[in-house]
Amino acid sequence: MDQPKIYVAGHRGMVGSAIVRILQIQGYSNIVTRNHAELDLTDQAAVRAFFFTEKPDQVYLAAAKVGGIHANNTYPAEFIYQNLMMEANVVDTAFRNGVRKLLFLGSSCIYPKMATQPMIESALLTGTLEPTNEPYAIAKIAGIKLCESYNRQYGASHGVDYRSVMPTNLFGPGDNYHPENSHVIPALIRRFHEAKVTKNPAVMIWGSGNPRREFLYVDDMAAASVFVMNLPKSKLDAHVQPMQSHINVGTGEDLTIKELAVAVGKIVGYQGTIDFDTNKPDGAPRKLMDSSRLNALGWQAQVGLEVGLAAAYQDFQVQLTT
């Protein structure tokens, strides 16, 4: 195989590490990485020096400052500044060093708070964003527009082909299981595991359990990323427009938080009851991506929820011991 030199930015994160795993499984062996301590992507001079030295052929931009509602609310300046700087530095420096293929990872929070469900790509910039993570979402939208703008200005002249994917909620190996600062699946895994170990007869879940959410196993996300990166341009161009080029990545299916809690409890082997604290807020009633654009391009999620949850629980147990 003709081996492109591939830079995976954020390779120690949940998504970046899964991208490295999938690339290696698919036979790509010329992968270059730097951790945050070695290369701060907000530092333009350092990013330029790195690209000048390494001269990668392709870039997966999976590095980002990410966090939950509390972190987004407490550190909005850091979220907008660091994400804008990382994207601007990596995209521009990639261009200056002849990188033709780059994949930017965004998030479903780019869509308006009141977007029609399931959320379709054309909903971008049609309404007001969710205020709690607006600075982060604005940075992610800027990332999409950076890629599109470099394509529009330098596509024909320099062969620039920068693409964006917008994942739904992800889970799996490498997730963050912090007791106060984690997403819903890792939080449920920890709570059911602790309840099992302490023989707690009931676990209380915030809210009614009725909101519907979508979850994608992280290895599926990584596989989708490699798939989109490698799609022939003519095929991709038949499904996207120059100023609306991002691609949603989801399973196309959602479930209630109650159904999810039951599934996690079963995987963990928790025997007690699950109660719901209806005094706590529910959030949006439904959040589901429309992934038909990606499906039409030929990609579908492979890992079912139960299989993914079992792998995530195994990962949690490994993390507990390390």
Ligand X SMILES: NC(=O)c1ccc[n+]([C@@H]2O[C@H](COP(=O)([O-])OP(=O)(O)OC[C@H]3O[C@@H](n4cnc5c(N)ncnc54)[C@H](OP(=O)(O)O)[C@@H]3O)[C@@H](O)[C@H]2O)c1
- Chain residues in the site for ligand X (CB under 6 A): 10, 12-16, 36, 39-42, 62-66, 82, 86, 105, 107, 167, 169-170, 183
Choosing from 7, 136, 217, 313, the catalytic residue is 136
Closest distance to ligand X from the beta carbon of 68 (Å): 10
Residue nearest to ligand X (CB): 13
* Of 81 and 154, CB closest to ligand X: 81
Q: What minimum distance in Å lies between the beta carbon of 103 and ligand X?
A: 11
* Buried-exposed string 262-272: b where 16+ CB fall within 10 A, e elsewhere: ebbbebbebee
Under 8 Å between Cβ of 62 and 8: yes
154 counts as catalytic: no
Q: How far is the CB of 125 from ligand X (least distance, A)?
A: 18
| Residue written as token pair 């994949």 | 103
Hey, how many other C-beta atoms are within 10 angstroms of the C-beta on 161?
20
Checking DSSP bridges between strand 255-256 and strand 212-213, what pairing results, if any?
antiparallel
Q: Which is nearer to ligand X, 36 or 235 (CB)?
A: 36
Q: Both ends of the chain: CA-CA distance in Å? A: 37
Q: How far is the CB of 219 from ligand X (least distance, A)?
A: 12
Residue 168's identity, in one-letter code, is T
d(CA 107, CA 90): 18
Q: What is the closest distance, in whole angstroms, from the C-beta atom of residue 63 to ligand X in the complex?
A: 4
Based on CB atoms, which residue is closest to ligand X, 42 or 291? 42
Is 15 or 203 the residue whose CB approaches ligand X more closely?
A: 15
Cβ of residue 236: shortest distance to ligand X, in angstroms? Answer: 20
Enumerate long-range contacts of 258-261, CB under 8 Å, 24 or more apart. 258/205, 258/209, 258/210, 260/184, 260/185, 260/188, 260/213, 260/215, 261/188, 261/203, 261/205, 261/209
Q: Are 28 and 57 in contact (CB under 8 A)?
A: no
106 residue type, one letter:
G
- Pairing between β-strand 202-206 and β-strand 31-32 as defined by DSSP bridges: unpaired
60 by DSSP, 3-state: which?
Answer: strand
Q: How many helices (H) and strands (E) does the chain have?
A: 11, 13
Give which of 143, 133, 169 is closest to 250, Cα–Cα. 169
| Residues taking part in catalysis | 136
